[in-house]
Structure 1
């Protein structure tokens, strides 16, 4: 399945021209479900694009995501195609393995590749709150190769078994989150929040990095693990349940090898 998808995605950019693509508040219909798309502001209509598939939070839909300053505000000026699937009942089934929403998410990416030229080597998965947990679930069982997971304030149980994993994991969570509480480990271990990925990817000891601020009112602490099968990054802050200003754009810049900037 992975090899087939990569071959299809590599061929698709040579097709085109790319016309009749749904975008913005007009949902792309996929069977009995749908998703939203936001192309970069300066896209030339032909160049293959990295993809950020973002799962919305509980009670939301993808039309919010493609107009959200802290999400599309950072994909639109970085040449990234934003895909925002709509969850059934405005939520996601991330509670156990074999989620129908994982199959749907894979179908969204495949369908978008028919509408837009995408770069199959740069498929990123993100989500916030319940959407963050769904992003973890999808990254854990995706039939497609995922270059990076950018998860915000939502996880799945750390003893979950994963059939696959992203090449790069980045998770941010507020230590004071009152909605989806930070998953401390025994003895208040803060690194427990990414235990699943550290064990799945064969990570060495953590490397604390200097704290940083994207906006001066929030300081983010960072730990990084170099692993046998990729890298894991954990960002924490003293705040609550929110998407930190600029965090998604900061990660996209680093993944692209650029100096991070805001916005």
Structure 2
């Protein structure tokens, strides 16, 4: 699908969609484990139309509800005709709604230590969304925060044939990730004052250092370089917005394979423009609304 076609369909859905979301909660059995997710659908999804789907991954120790509250994707995307899904990771306390993590290989917690097949779970979830919820297989998007951002990277790599674009927020890469077989557009957001995901890489910080396997992170800039290399992009151009409060690095990429990286100068380990992930969490910067820029980026990209 070409970019003009993606925008045309997006505009059509914006006009047709109802402002209220059809709320639901689902479960999916994968590898013998019941996995939970929250789904918000526009009224238009009841018609015979294929609509975009955004998968939002919570951070380590979070859950589906915290991801929805923190990002505000439901309020923004559903009125514009998009499905928004908030799946949950796993924990050793299966009946608890919190303390969930994702297996991003080198992080985090229970999911990493038990080598949970989160890639398989999300792949099966995408298949269900396409088969049962009118999701357009060419317009599947994944975003997430922290551990969810690391998982977003992993999904973009291992499910590159199913995902059109990714949006990791305050996450990182470790340097041993394979190049994906298919291009995936990427918008990456980090905070320069993030102590959990250090700007210059190295050992992770934060309150739960034992949730990692000890593999040091690459510098935040490596994420953009990785996806630029995967997408066949050229050199990057740097600019600034909001009076220098946000630095933007844009790579020269082939059409439909864009890579853009945002660095929030006073941003910590939080979702910019959103709500705090926990009472002890960093206060989100207001210099950037990550949900808005990611949503716009997603709507401009579809798999060809």
Same fold (TM over 0.5): yes
CA shift in 2, pair 1:154/1:189, >3 Å: closer
1:29 corresponds in structure 2 to 27
CA distance in 2 between counterparts of 1:194 and 1:65 reads 24
CA distance in 2 between counterparts of 1:69 and 1:190 reads 21
**TM-score of the two chains, using structure 1 as the length reference:** 0.76
- The alignment status of 1:112 with 2:112, answered yes or no, reads no
Task: Work out the number of aligned pairs and report it.
Answer: 229
SS state at 1:227 partner: coil
Q: Is the 8 A contact 2:152 2:168 kept in 1?
A: yes
Q: Is the 8 A contact 2:187 2:297 kept in 1?
A: no
**TM-score of the two chains, using structure 2 as the length reference:** 0.67
Cα deviation, residue 80, structure 1: 1.5
SS state at 2:229 partner: helix
1:164 pairs with one of 151, 173, 181: 181
SS state at 2:292 partner: helix
1:181 pairs with one of 198, 201, 205: 198
2:168 corresponds in structure 1 to 151
Cα deviation, residue 208, structure 1: 2.0
Cα deviation, residue 157, structure 1: 1.1
CA distance in 1 between counterparts of 2:300 and 2:152 reads 23
1:15 corresponds in structure 2 to none
Structure 2 unaligned spans of 5+ = 1-21, 92-99, 107-111, 203-217, 274-288
**How do 1:204-223 and structure 2 match up within 5 A?**
204-209=234-239, 211-213=240-242, 219-223=245-249
- The alignment status of 1:139 with 2:168, answered yes or no, reads no
1:249 corresponds in structure 2 to 292
CA shift in 2, pair 1:158/1:201, >3 Å: farther
1:234 corresponds in structure 2 to 261
SS state at 1:88 partner: coil
- CA offsets per residue over residues 97-146 of structure 1, 9 Å max, x none? 99610111011111122331111111111110100000001111116421
- CA offsets per residue over residues 174-193 of structure 1, 9 Å max, x none? 011012222459xx976334
CA shift in 2, pair 1:171/1:121, >3 Å: same
- The alignment status of 1:195 with 2:196, answered yes or no, reads no
Cα deviation, residue 195, structure 1: 2.5
1:61 corresponds in structure 2 to 63
CA RMSD for the aligned pairs?
A: 3.0
CA distance in 2 between counterparts of 1:231 and 1:158 reads 21
Which deviates the most, 167-176 or 222-231?
Answer: 222-231
1:126 pairs with one of 134, 138, 143: 143
Cα deviation, residue 237, structure 1: 0.9
- Runs of 4 or more above 6 Å deviation: none
